[in-house]
Structure 1
Amino acid sequence: MTFAFDNTYAQLPERFFERLAPVPVAQPRLVKLNEALAESLGLDRDALRSPEGLAVLSGNRVPEGAAPLAMAYAGHQFGHFVPQLGDGRAILLGEILTPSGERFDIHLKGSGRTPFSRGGDGRAWLGPVLREYILSEAMYALGIPTTRSLAAVATGEQVVRETVLPGAVLTRVARSHVRVGTFEYFHARQDVDGLRRLADYVIARHYPEAKATEQPYRTFLSAVIGRQAELVARWLGVGFIHGVMNTDNTSIAGETIDYGPCAFMDAYHPNRVYSSIDHRGRYAYGNQPRVAQWNLARLAESLLPLLDPDPDQALAAAQDLIEGYTARFEQAYLAGFRAKLGLFEARDEDPELIDGLLLAMSETAADFTNTFRSLCDAAAGTAGPDAAPLADAAPLSPWLGFWHARLASEAGDPQARAAAMRRANPAVIPRNHRVEAALNAAVSGDLDPLDSLLRVLSRPWDEGPETRAYSLPPEPHEVVQKTFCGT
């Protein structure tokens, strides 16, 4: 059981983290192993399934070469600053290098109390662990930057939330776990040396092209802004709602991280909220672009001492970069929705065409995924405006006329256009009711629904007999109104 550890974060000053090992568990049992991910990481899947591998995945054994630690960070949670958060129930075992030379964190979530636990038990329970496994692997299959799940292990112990629940540990894989909140941690302490060390570390690891520029910290900030703009635009393209877009949940590497009360929409509405803790809709579907910009502004504030020795010049540079987020997001957003609508040419009227469709969908609570998927057949001429679900949304009829006229004005074969649209519009997403059904069964010991769901979600663009049932919207009694983070 070997990991190709090459730990760099652990070489930073001690104030960046607390060194400690995971807290052992009573009776670990492997629930799910991501064999394809293990292979890509250069890990032996049979060894991971062995007693020695299970001991590592549960936190009962620290593998050779690991440098376990709990990372320190701060964060704005629902707009309120908390100067010290940190890994309260997680341990970074270390970083490994894949056979292709890529670097990834190996991270145990639910691995026991740390100095950052703030009175919590440091544990996770099986439902949210498997939920993150499902959602992160679905996101990966959709081609959207994300952390991934290597394994889910039941601990044989119980955790107490609103009730007594089975404990579990998730092994998470990420490009890194540095967050906007990590920079805020040092900024709040006026630790400019810590800020510089952290920025230099992140530049070397994630943005090496910035190092050779005249203003490396400005280039770095600009690059992070670009990645976040593209990430959130891609979330909107698949109807994803993160649910808790705090700055401590905003990855500097540009990945989707911390799948708590997140969800994919069924019926479309820009104000859609599922998160049980988002009482005022701060992180609603349509608010996510603005929230991302707000979070990035907090990063820019933290970096001010590095942007320029003159405070006024530093502030001007930060404001310019943050204001530039809007254009970068809109460019990514329009490109994504043009692809979804089969528009090969960029025209000035595109925002109006996109907004017109979304408005009609919101007025009829049209299913987000199925409406866009139905447009693929409509573009090919194999389904008319009377095809479901288009027939269920009368306000769509005028819009369909404008859209067909637009397609007719562009060159291109209808079948080729439809094929391109099918690569931009998934047939299957992790619908909330399907996820909940799989989780309830898994917690009761039946993994078949989980395995079937994961198999279908790994091929989100495909249609066939196996996928058809997973593409259906929930029946009224199946609708999930609230999703939960599990802490």
Structure 2
Amino acid sequence: MATASTTNKSSTPSFPTFENTFATLGDAFSASVQAQPFKSSYLIAANEPLAEQLGIDPSLIRHDFFRQIFSGEKLADGSQSIAAVYSGHQFGVWAGQLGDGRALLLGDIKLHEPDSNSYSRYEIQLKGAGPTPFSRMGDGRAVLRSSLREYLCSEAMNALGIPSSRALSLIGSDQYAMREQPEKTAIVARAAPSFIRFGSFEHWYYNDEHEKLKQLADFCLEHYFSSCLVEENPYQAMLKNIVRLTAEMIAHWQAVGFMHGVMNTDNMSILGLTLDYGPFGFMDGYQPQQICNHSDTQGRYAFHMQPRIGQWNCHALAQAMLPLIGDVNAAQEALATYVPSFEQKHAQLMAAKFGFQRTQDGDLDLISDFLDIMAKGNSDYTNSFRALSNYKLAPVSLENEKLRDLFLDRESLDKWLERYKTRLITEQSNDEQREITMKRSNPKFVLRNYLAQQAIEAAENKDFSELERLYTVLLHPFDEQKELENYAALPPDWAQTISVSCSS
């Protein structure tokens, strides 16, 4: 990760040319907006691997031109600055028109090296570059606190193998915005194959503009779901794919203990990407009913609710696509893929976390009982699974004692471990090999709120060293990194006072 340094003010360097694929939809789908750059800005961090993938020479990162492009001061060749319109359900209530209130789409760049999901282009957005016609009385800014969290978590999720938008750069300023109190502002340049949301479809459906709805759907079929074009009902096939991708994404969240915090339909990606990092959190002590968003007073988006809400959101999307699909039964058939897709992916991920080579009867009960023991003692989610990776079949071992130390109810754990041991023996599990495979599924490091808070407090004083260290740790979540053991530590007492909400 490149961090703040002396910039090079020589002649304008070579830079990838932007295209504007989304803008081809026409003016009804977006508004042309000029960014309002900071009076003065500075590079806090940049994602060199992603920059290279986008064809940006890493040496360019420290050039003023890079900072100017990703702070909104200049437009690169071919770039247009637009804000997309969409609507959505917020906390289950229809909210009407929303749109990019503080995000500007610069266009898309062809990937120099296409990523594993085969998308060949990434759209680039600036988040926090000033107001748009969709700001709804807001100032269009993003505070340093939330911007730094999004920068870190986007890349942490990607390293964990969880579908997500990416973060290209983080630009800081000395300009303040008023939230609960005055806060420093920043701009995140984020990247994704598309930022189209469930709410993008809902917007045209609820405005009774079915031609625009069809135009958007045909655009998505052409660019993201072309394999569906050969199906008898391409729109139903596309919905089925979106439902599956959404279910699998949320299965990933549940397996790693991630809480999104604000699963409104306008925050749901049609590509099954984790999008719009706001009041998110990773589990510390395991509590299925945990709410990570201080604004979520009813617990709609609590951890254990996420699979159900994902399904609810898919139903909202299906309703919006119904004029295109043409038949309620066909839409319901597409929606019916949600539960089996979630259950299959979640079972696969959890089996890997427990080191099971193949599925057996009783596995779900064994997994559920372990989680119950964790919940009763508030055992740390990440550390408990990591310690389980070290479990030995031998009657007595130091690793097993370290695992027991993480649980208050050791009697219940010991009884469970006897069942677990019997289960492992049935498939002749080898301690050494099982440890290797389990540690590929059970991260040692996640972005705990207190770790992010430490980086935020340092960054507010223009000390970005902690951000850089934490970023480096999170890029390798499954590695031991023994010299950085403290980043896997349980949260200190003061971390209980950290509060995250929709305000950023």
Give the AA of the match of 2:402.
A
Name the amino acid aligned to 1:254: G
Residue identity opposite 1:19 in structure 2: S
Partner SS for 2:171: strand
**Aligned-partner Cα distance in 1 for 2:191–2:102:** 16
Cα deviation for residue 45 of structure 1 reads 2.6
- Find 2:361's aligned residue among 340, 348, 357: 348
Change (3 A) 1:361 1:318: same
CA shift for structure 1 position 379: 4.5
How many equivalent pairs are there? 482
Question: Deviation per CA, 1:352-393, whole angstroms, max 9, x where unpaired?
Answer: 111111111100000000111111110465545432444544
CA contact (8 A) 1:31 1:153 kept: yes
Q: Tell me how far 1:469 sits from its aligned partner.
A: 0.6
State the alpha-carbon separation in 1 of the partners of residues 64 and 57 from structure 2: 13
**How high is the sequence identity, in percent, across the aligned residues?**
38
**Larger deviation, residues 36-45 vs 131-140:** 36-45
Deviation, structure 1 residue 321: 2.1
Which residue is equivalent to 2:105?
Answer: 92
Query: Deviations 1:138-189 (Å, cap 9, x if unpaired)?
Result: 1111111111111111133221112222121110111110000000000011
Counterpart Cα distance in 1 of 2:402 and 2:64: 54
Aligned to 1:320: 333
Structure 2 CA distance, aligned partners of 1:476 and 1:455?
A: 25
Asked if 2 retains the 8 angstrom alpha-carbon contact of 1:371 and 1:390, the reply is yes
Asked if 1:220 corresponds to 2:238, the answer is: yes
Partner of 1:240: 258
Per the alignment, in what secondary structure is the counterpart of residue 377 of structure 1?
coil
Using the alignment, how far apart are the partners of 2:144 and 2:503 within structure 1? 9
User: 1:464 Cα deviation (Å)?
Assistant: 3.3
CA contact (8 A) 2:237 2:334 kept: no
Is residue 2:222 matched to residue 1:204?
A: yes
- 1:24 to partner: Cα distance: 2.5
In structure 2, the CA distance between the partners of 1:379 and 1:336, relative to structure 1 (3 Å rule), is farther
Letter aligned with residue 452 of structure 1: R
- The DSSP-based 3-state class of the residue aligned with 1:83 is strand
Q: Which residue of 1 aligns with 2:48?
A: 35
Take 2:498 and 2:184, find their aligned partners in 1: how far apart are those partners? 24
Q: Show the counterpart of 2:66.
A: 53
Counterpart of 1:455 in structure 2 is 472
Letter in 2 for 1:166: K
Code of the aligned partner of 1:290: R
Q: CA deviation at 1:16?
A: 0.6
CA offset at residue 111 of structure 1?
A: 0.9
Contact 1:149 1:170 in 2 (8 A): yes
Between 6-15 and 294-303, report the one with greater CA deviation.
Answer: 6-15
Equivalent of residue 375 in structure 2, options 362, 382, 394: 362
Given candidates 71, 83, 94, the residue that maps to 1:70 is 83
What does residue 148 of structure 1 align with? Answer: 166
- After superposition, the C-alpha distances for 1:415-449 in whole angstroms (9 at most, x for unaligned) are 11111101000011111111111111111111111
Aligned equivalents of 1:231, 1:331: Cα separation in 2: 12
Q: Distance in 2 between matches of 1:110 and 1:391?
A: 43
Aligned residue type for 2:324 = L
Task: Please give the alpha-carbon distance, in whole angstroms, between the structure 2 residues aligned to 1:84 and 1:78.
Answer: 15
Q: Which amino acid aligns with 1:160?
A: M
For residues 467 and 322 of structure 1, the distance between their equivalents in structure 2, rounded to whole angstroms, comes to 44
Which residue of structure 2 aligns with residue 186 of structure 1? 204
The partner residue of 1:410 within 421, 427, 433 is 427
d(CA) in 2 for partners of 1:380, 1:439 = 43
SS of 1:479 mapped into structure 2:
helix
Structure 1 residue identity aligned to 2:484? T
8 Å Cα contact 1:128-1:485 kept in structure 2? no
Matched, 1:435 2:485: no
**RMSD of Structure 2 on Structure 1 (CA):** 1.5
Residue deviations 1:264-317, cap 9 Å, x none?
A: 010001101121111111111110000000000001000101112xxxxx1111
Between 455-464 and 175-184, report the one with greater CA deviation: 455-464
Residue type matched to 1:346 in 2? T
2-side partners of 1:145 and 1:478: how far apart? 28
CA contact (8 A) 1:275 1:484 kept: yes
Instruction: Measure the CA separation in 1 of the matches of 2:225 and 2:459.
Output: 40
Matched, 1:18 2:69: no
- Hey, what's the Cα distance between the residues in 2 that align with 1:419 and 1:270? 28
Answering whether residue 408 of structure 2 is matched by residue 387 of structure 1, we say no
TM-score (normalizing by structure 1)? 0.96
Structure 1: give runs of 5+ residues left out of the alignment.
309-313
Q: What SS class does the counterpart of residue 137 from structure 2 fall into?
A: coil
Is the alpha carbon distance of 1:84 and 1:221 closer, same or farther for their aligned partners in structure 2, counting shifts above 3 Å? same
Find the counterpart in structure 1 of residue 317 from structure 2: 299
| 3-state DSSP of counterpart to 1:298 | helix
Q: Is the 8 A contact 1:210 1:219 kept in 2?
A: yes
Say which SS state the counterpart of residue 241 (structure 2) adopts. Answer: helix
Q: 1:27 to 1:351 in 2, by over 3 A?
A: same
Q: 1:469 aligns with which of 462, 486, 502?
A: 486
